[in-house]
Structure 1
Amino acid sequence: MDEHSTNPLDRQDRKTDIITVAELFSSSFVYRVPDYQRGYAWNDEFKMLWKDILRLYRTKAHKHYTGMLVLEEIKDDAVLETEAIIDTTAFYIVDGQQRITSLVIILQSLLNYVQDEITDNNTKEELEKKYKELLSFSFIKRFGYSAKRNDPAASYFDERIYDNSAGAEHTDQYMSNINDAKDFIDKELDKLSGETAAEILDVIANKIVFNLYFVTDDFDVRVTFETINNRGKRLSKLELLKNRLMYLSAQLPKRQGLDLKNKINDSWKSIYKNLCFGDCRLSDDVFLKAHWIVYGKLNKKKGDSFFDDLFADEFAIDEGTHYNLVANKEYDNAYSHIEKYIRSLSRYSYYWRIVNQPEGITGFKNEKELEWIKRLSRISDTLFLRAALMVIVSLDSINWPDKEKLYNKIELFVFVNKLLAQDRNDLSFLVTAVKPMLTADNTNATKLCSDVIQAIDSHPSLKVDPERVVKAVEAFKLNVLDRKENYYYSWNGLSYFLYEYNESLSIANAAPIQWYELSSTSIEHVLPQTPESDYWKTSFGDYSDDVRKRITNSLGNLLLLSCGAENSTLRNYSFPVKKDMSVASKKFAYSDGSRSAREIAEETYWTINEVTKRTQRLIKFMYEHWFSNLSIAQADWEKCSSILMNDLPAPLTDKEYAHKTQLLDKIDTTAERKKADASVKARPSNFLQKQFLGYVNQDSIWIRYNKEKISYKDWFTFKIIEENGNPKRFECGVKINDISYRIIYHYDNNTMEGSYWPNNNYTVIPDEALLPNKIKELLLSFKRYLRKARNITKPPKWLDYSANSK
């Protein structure tokens, strides 16, 4: 090592210093992400780093400090051999991994991009020579993941980043983050010329600096990692726990410690696979808490207090259960203490996934049970309920009739107490009840299931019986109907109730309702909240504002919309327009919607009579669906029904109804239908325009789309004329130094022409080389768009019409 070297990594006496990216990735230096580190976790932070780089490039600043980099040198020859990095100066990245990973993704993408985009061979050779060993040398990649991790992210990073393979499969959150970063930077680079990309590459290499810090031999690197990673994007509790367990495994005899370490790695891979699948991203920390309150201590405090149980007691460094076992040299017990916990954590991550995302589960062996899981996941997202369900679902050895009975009991308990009575009970008693199930086997699983049922049936204050149902309905009146401004529309159980009703109907070919796509706009008022049409004024205009509001937000007037059928933008139209599929688009019509929407579409009119009839039908459904087996006295249920009707005004007499419907029949909805039809017609997606703009650096080129005409101002304006969805002609205009320019490109024959108006005289531009630099810059983007988006690799032919001036 050279004591006089300007590169702090070359010095024998290494100390805190400033280092550039070029210095970092030079000589024989290589870097590995150690096994105690999490994977790549940046999302928005990656985009912010890219913005910082662009700002640094534009402002021509001298240096940009991007944070601390903490390194631990790898000195053990056996480790160097395992990592396949012999004859290098190698370091583990203790802190700064997210930034280094991000920079490598950007640098490799830039290197690929400039090689593709720069056509000048001399420039290309110069860049190849300059950056040949920036990210690899002697077939060794400078940045990678430690072999100790046994992590599929290592091979994924090689494929997706180093090999630029878009088809690489990503199976967990960390891989998805790498893929998202790669997709983002590729789209950003498409906006740049090869020359600009090369300049940015140079900026990153020489102007981005780290504050370099070395972990010395007297530091415990895992504790150091745990401490310093309270900065930046915080580690999740699950990530910190993995590091802590890795640290504790090192306190065991070597063989046991290595075996436990491998099991920890395998467990965390399984956990992250279950928490991250498809488009689903389940929270690390919520799962960790859900598992701990069942496996360990029922901690009902809010926030992260449960983590203190894990870190300060169960798996503490200098006290607690594990510490005492190691201190007493009970190594087998210490090993089992951790191994049992991680095995349980890994196992239940799969069932946590099922409970939280049952819609995405395929091949579940009991379809009836899966339907129950979906139903219970809809009724409440309470942590204690889902933690209990996670345990119940895991037990296949429970007789199905007993298990189904338990699911039924849970749903009834939650519906009556949480949705109707609005009770504040957090359902934590279920967690206590299912705890014995963690150690259940084939001989006692069904007995333990019966014990949970008994715990529900014998709840001291909330057990569900006829008396409790009556009290729950009375509480519903007090807490919802009398207190909420919008009555049923404000009920937190409305979506669940209407969903269950919709599912109960037997109507073929109805549009489906996807529970996980529901939102606040998914509840439709048949009689609108702002009834402005003649139809609604005729049908409900006789009522005061207060009474009409009660009708509008009554149970019978509320409808759960299907996805892609009825359109919530049409909520203020008349009933015949809403329900009638004769409107050309048909997308919003009740008659083309969900089961409950089609049921409403069978009505000819919508008056107080129809609202009352449907409200009564829904109340009857409530009784039959939840309470029919409770033997509620008829008088008691009639009392409940009266409360649930919420003082709706009396229906019209037959004579009044006949007169009202005659008036409604006379209303002409033709104009309203035309307006409705126009409002739901598909609007142009502007896909072609957006596709082109994806290749324009709008920080340096001011450009906007104008589908009507080309204007000549300081901004570029453009339009793309298309035919049957295919582009035919691109037109662009701009004013430079008070002279208007126009460029036209023809897609069918790959030709381009230009003209301008000096002194207001139309003049053909005979050669592309004569264009102003500002336009040339735009055309570079346009040609890049043609090549990459339209697969037109041959440069456009420039047309010279100067001999035939128009």
Structure 2
Amino acid sequence: MNELESLKSIFKDRIFKIPDYQRGYAWTTRQLKDFWEDLVNVPIDRYHYTGLLSLKKVDSKVWTNWNEEKWLIEDRGFKPFHIVDGQQRLTTFVIFIQSICELLINNGENINKSENEIYLGSFSLKAIKEEYLVIEKPPRFIIRTHKFGYEVDNPSFKFLRHRIFQEPNSGTIQETFYTLNLDNAKSFFKENLNIYYEKYGLKEIDILFKKVTQNLMFNVYEISDDFDVFVAFETMNNRGKKLSNLELLKNRLIYLTTLYDKNQLKDDERNSLREKINEAWKEVYYQLGRNKQNPLNDDDFLVAHWIMYFQYTREKGDDYIRFLLEQKFTPQNIYAKTEVRLSSIQEFEEIKDDEEPDLDEVEINGEEEITSFRSKLSPKEIEEYVNSLKSAAVHWYNTYNPVNNLNLTNQESLWIDRLNRIGIIYFRPLITASFLTENTNPKKRVQLFKAIERFIFITFRLSRAFSTYRNSEFYRAARQLRDNELTVENIIQILNQRMNYCFYMSEESKEVFFEYTYFQKYIDKKFKSGGGFYSWNGLRYFLYEYEMEKVRLRGSQKIDWKLFIKNEKDKVSIEHIYPQTPANKCWKDDFNNYKKTQQVYFQGTLGNLLPLSQSVNSSLQNDCFSSKKTAKYNEKKEKLRQGYADGSHSEIEVSGYDEWNPNNILDRGLKLLEFMEQRWDLKFESENEKAELLFLDFMNPDEYVEQRNK
């Protein structure tokens, strides 16, 4: 361990590269705020311990291939280092310094000045850049050498150069899960530095610069050649922002490629395998960060892929990473040898004299055989695994982002979107796996998606099964589908069989009907707690599907799902047409024939709940039906609410009723249950059953239905 060094000392005559086994930039706003507050609050006359910086000197075999850095190493004596621990802090520092440079350039006093003419305290902008960011090779200044960066094939390096350091002529830049964090850090410092400058002036910006380069101190440690750098990386990076399991796995796999002897993995094969690991992770992190508004969790993806690729076992939540890092991809499985026998007349790789200690030759029945001892974990297994991760990533992304997705057919997009809306629970690995086998096509996949959606709605939303019901079986089915051990037809059959408890056969007609009593008991509890159908967790999905059926028949979508499920304070997107507080005389006249205990059921029953195209203030729910049917304005002619007649298709349908009374509530409830029967292929035995499920059987529904049919 060396003495404490400042950033100014650390960057003197050094070039830093983040090696391929490292994760990308992982700091988020929370860590950036901590850094900013530390920097602002540390006194200018005090030092602040920042942490450990572990470095590994780069071998000449490696840096001689660095085109843009080689001149600084050979001509000016710079020393090249890989950053083993501390890259998050160093990355943050250089982004902060870059942000200060941009603040200086954009200062009105510096317009049209060269970098030699712009100063921060006694440092010119050119000197600052050359010391911490980039040096141009004289005399032609074509080569721009970054003192800090990633290995060249890492998409974060191109993003860092062109989006963070504003180097021009970038071309296409691949954005990943990590580049989002780089961009966020740049925006954070730009905003806070501008505010700080406007409040305190350039002198205080100079003080911040001196603090970051001279007052923040590192313990710098150089790892010796014989030290296991990969193990060091795993150990050291468990401090600070913890490595994700996907990040740990990448480091482990690259480490394993270094352990094979040359009999099993020649140098060109070793390099190729390492490149495939890097390419796989590059693709994975591209897909995970592809949607900037909703970046995907890397460990969720790793768990799902483990379910699809290996034999699922139902144990603790972290069982998958113990299997990957402690059972499958371990150094022990490289060192442990298994015996392989090959006939000498078969094709076999050339055996060199110096490789003979690993081989035995025996003669059996007059034939010569070659016995070779190979690692329990072969390089081919690693290659197949990382290629599978790579190919699964885009399909994982597609399951979260199906809308307007050119990789999906219209029907695939429609049904995956439905699955996300209803709550996909544990089926995402199975859906992803359906894209990874040659035995499926878009038509078969849509059949599977329809069956899964029906299973979720009937089993979980209606029949109230526990959220883990049969999850192990369908996790295993994901792997079996990927491995062609099961077909889509097999899985659909299993899905239908697992819903048998949701149905019963009539002894008289021998027809199969929906067993609604599970759902009825659930809704009864909701009525007792004051909500009724309004508290059903499948209500929004059901009403939205009813609305979308009207859209398919008539066109013109009027309800946006994201706004429909958004919870706004004191506003509603599903209205009780007959209100929960029916104070107006109009409501009393229509419902006074029923007891107050019965009026509660009219308020909370399915037929009284209406999806609105625009949310309204909850107080407006108490208006009379005649007022709700048309738009309402205040004295200033400002619209307070949308009228049913101009609203969603469901609102327009309700506006067709002349009045809103008990009979019409039952009528609409029955219509909605008829839609449920058609949409999810289930059947109620009688209208009485439907009325009972609607909690309106006290109305003498047989008499009403007879009048309705006339």
TM-score computed with the length of structure 2 as normaliser:
0.79
1:131 corresponds to = 128
Give me the whole-angstrom Cα distance separating, in 2, the residues matched to 1:613 and 1:452: 38
- Give the CA deviation at 1:38: 0.9
Give the distance between the partners of 2:86 and 2:596, measured in 1 at CA: 62
Q: 1:250 to 1:477 in 2, by over 3 A?
A: same
Instruction: Give, in whole Å, the separation in 2 of the partners of 1:201 and 1:427.
Output: 55
Are the aligned partners of 2:576 and 2:603 in contact in 1 as well (CA < 8 Å)? yes
Q: Indicate if the aligned counterparts of 1:94 and 1:221 stay in contact, CA closer than 8 A.
A: yes
Structure 2 CA distance for aligned equivalents of residues 321 and 421 of structure 1: 53
**Aligned: 1:52 with 2:42:** no
Work out whether residues 646 and 652 of structure 2, in 8 Å CA contact, stay in contact via their aligned partners in 1. Answer: yes
Structure 2 counterparts to residues 218-257 of structure 1, below 5 A: 218-252=226-260, 253=265, 254-257=267-270
CA distance 1:264–1:550, change in 2 (3 Å): same
Alpha-carbon distance, 1:95 to partner: 1.1
Structure 1 residue 394: Cα displacement: 4.0
The CA distance in 2 between the partners of 1:500 and 1:302, in whole Å, is 36
8 Å contact from structure 1 (residues 271, 349) kept in 2: yes
Q: In structure 2, how many angstroms separate the alpha carbons of the residues matched to 1:618 and 1:369?
A: 26
Matches for 1:738-753 after TM superposition, within 5 Å:
none
| Aligned match of 1:375 | 418
**1:39 match:** 24
Once the two structures are TM-superposed, the CA of residue 561 in structure 1 deviates from its matched residue by 3.8
Answer yes or no: is 1:117 the counterpart of 2:118. no
Q: Assess, with a 3 A threshold, how the Cα gap between structure 1 residues 78 and 265 changes in structure 2: closer, same or farther.
A: closer
Q: Aligned in 2, Cα 1:488/1:108: closer, same or farther, shift over 3 Å?
A: same
Q: Is the 8 A contact 1:31 1:144 kept in 2?
A: yes
The change in CA–CA distance for 1:82 and 1:320 in structure 2 (over 3 A counts) is closer
Distance 1:340 1:623, change over 3 A: same
Amino acid at match of 1:142: K
Question: In the alignment, does 2:704 pair up with 1:646?
Answer: no
1:389 maps onto 2:386 in alignment = no
- Preserved contact between residue 524 and residue 568 of structure 1 (Cα < 8 Å): no
Deviation of the 1:273 alpha carbon: 1.8
Q: Is the 8 A contact 1:108 1:162 kept in 2?
A: yes
- Equivalence for 1:291: 305
Instruction: Indicate the residue corresponding to 1:158 in structure 2.
Output: 161
Instruction: Give, in angstroms, the shift of residue 637 of structure 1.
Output: 4.1
Residue 33 of structure 2 aligns with an amino acid whose one-letter code is K
* Residue segments in structure 1 that go unaligned for 5+ positions in a row: 1-14, 655-806
> Per-residue displacement from partner, 1:557-599 (whole Å, max 9, x unpaired)?
223344xx33355653414444423644376443343322332
1-structure distance, mates of 2:185, 2:652:
45
Whether the 8 Å contact between 2:21 and 2:250 is mirrored in structure 1 is yes
Report the CA distance shift for 1:355/1:161 in structure 2 as closer, same or farther (over 3 A).
Answer: closer
Output the CA distance in 1 between the equivalents of 2:335 and 2:671: 59
Structure-1 residue corresponding to 2:483: 439
Q: Distance in 2 between matches of 1:119 and 1:334?
A: 64
Question: In structure 2, what is the Cα distance between the partners aligned to 1:166 and 1:478?
Answer: 65
Q: Which residue is 1:795 aligned to?
A: none
**Contact map agreement 1:406 1:449 (CA 8 A) in 2:** yes
Taking the aligned partners of 1:323 and 1:568, their CA distance within structure 2 comes to: 72
1:514 aligns with one of 541, 561, 573? 561
* Cα gap change, 1:116 to 1:313, in 2 (>3 Å): same
Counterpart residue type for residue 489 of structure 2: S
For 1:448, the equivalent position in structure 2 comes to 487
* Distance of aligned partners of 1:52 and 1:25 in 2 relative to their CA distance in 1, 3 Å threshold: same
Aligned to 2:321, what secondary structure does the other structure show?
helix
Give the stretch that moved more between structures: 547-556 or 328-337: 328-337
Pick aligned residue for 2:547 from 502, 508, 516: 502
**Aligned match of 2:534:** 489
Q: Distance in 2 between matches of 1:143 and 1:232?
A: 21
How many Å separate the matches in 1 of 2:438 and 2:639? 48
Question: Does structure 1 conserve the Cα–Cα contact (< 8 Å) formed by 2:632 and 2:640?
Answer: yes
Specify which of 512, 516, 523 is matched with residue 480 of structure 1. Answer: 523
| Correspondence for 2:644 | 590
Corresponding residue of 1:782: none
Q: Tell me by how many angstroms 1:396 deviates.
A: 6.5
- Name which of 312, 318, 336 aligns with 2:326: 312
Displacement of 1:98: 1.0
Superposed CA offset, 1:470-496 (max 9, x none): 564111122333356222222222222
Q: Distance in 2 between matches of 1:220 and 1:623?
A: 64
The CA distance in 2 between the partners of 1:321 and 1:74, in whole Å, is 27
Structure 1 residues 195 and 644, CA gap change in structure 2 (3 angstroms): same
Task: Give the alignment partner of residue 420 of structure 1, picking from 449, 452, 462.
Answer: 462
Contact kept? 2:121, 2:203, Cα under 8 Å: no
Cα displacement string for residues 256-292 of structure 1 (whole angstroms, at most 9, x for unaligned residues): 2211110111111111222222323111111111111
169 and 46 in structure 1: CA distance in 2 versus 1, 3 angstrom threshold: farther
The aligned residue for residue 387 of structure 2 is 343
Residues 97 and 577 of structure 1: is their aligned pair in 2 closer, same or farther, counting only changes over 3 Å? farther
Superposed CA RMSD in Å reads 3.4
Q: Shift of the alpha carbon at 1:245?
A: 0.9
Q: 1:81 to 1:320 in 2, by over 3 A?
A: closer
Residue 107 of structure 1 aligns to which amino acid in structure 2? Answer: I
> Counterpart of 2:350?
none
**Separation (CA, whole Å) in 1 of partners of 2:691 and 2:222:** 75
Tell me if 1:22 matches 2:64: no
Q: Post-superposition shift, 1:160?
A: 1.6
- Name 1:612's counterpart in structure 2: 666
- Larger RCO, structure (CA 8 Å, separation 6 or more): 2
* Offset, 1:110: 0.6
Match of 1:527 among 578, 586, 593: 578
Instruction: Please name the residue that 1:143 is paired with.
Output: 148
Residue aligned with 1:36, SS: coil
- Report what 1:73 is aligned to: 57
CA distance in 2, matches of 1:448, 1:232: 46
Q: Which moved more, 1:129-138 or 1:613-622?
A: 129-138
AA of the residue aligned to 2:421:
R
- Structure 1 distance, partners of 2:3, 2:211, is 20
Asked whether the 8 Å contact 1:488–1:554 carries over to 2, the reply is yes
CA offsets per residue over residues 102-161 of structure 1, 9 Å max, x none?
1110111112212432738685583207635321464332211123xx112111101122
> Counterpart of 1:526 in structure 2: which amino acid?
I
Amino acid at match of 1:598: I
What is the identity, as a one-letter code, of the residue corresponding to 1:97? Answer: Q
The one of 540, 548, 551 equivalent to 2:602 is 551
CA spacing shift, 1:650–1:270, aligned 2, 3 Å: same
**Cα 1:198/1:60, change in 2 over 3 Å:** closer
SS at match of 1:263: helix
Closer/same/farther in 2, CA of residues 177 and 469 from structure 1, 3 Å limit: farther
Report if aligned partners of 1:62, 1:207 keep a CA contact under 8 Å in 2.
yes
Residues 158, 552 of structure 1: alpha-carbon distance in 2 compared, 3 angstrom cutoff: same
Tell me, in whole angstroms, the C-alpha distance in 1 between the residues paired with 2:649 and 2:316: 41
Post-superposition CA distance 1:515-564 (Å, at most 9, x none): 586235543333344455555555557766544433322111223344xx
| Residue of structure 1 aligned with 2:282, choices 269, 285, 302 | 269
Q: Structure 1 pair 427/471, CA: closer, same or farther in 2 (3 Å)?
A: farther
Q: Is the 8 A contact 1:313 1:320 kept in 2?
A: no
- Comparing 120-129 with 78-87, greater Cα deviation is found at 120-129
The 2-side partners of 1:242 and 1:355 are apart by 24
Give the counterpart of 1:177 among 154, 164, 181. 181
Aligned-residue offset at 1:80: 4.7
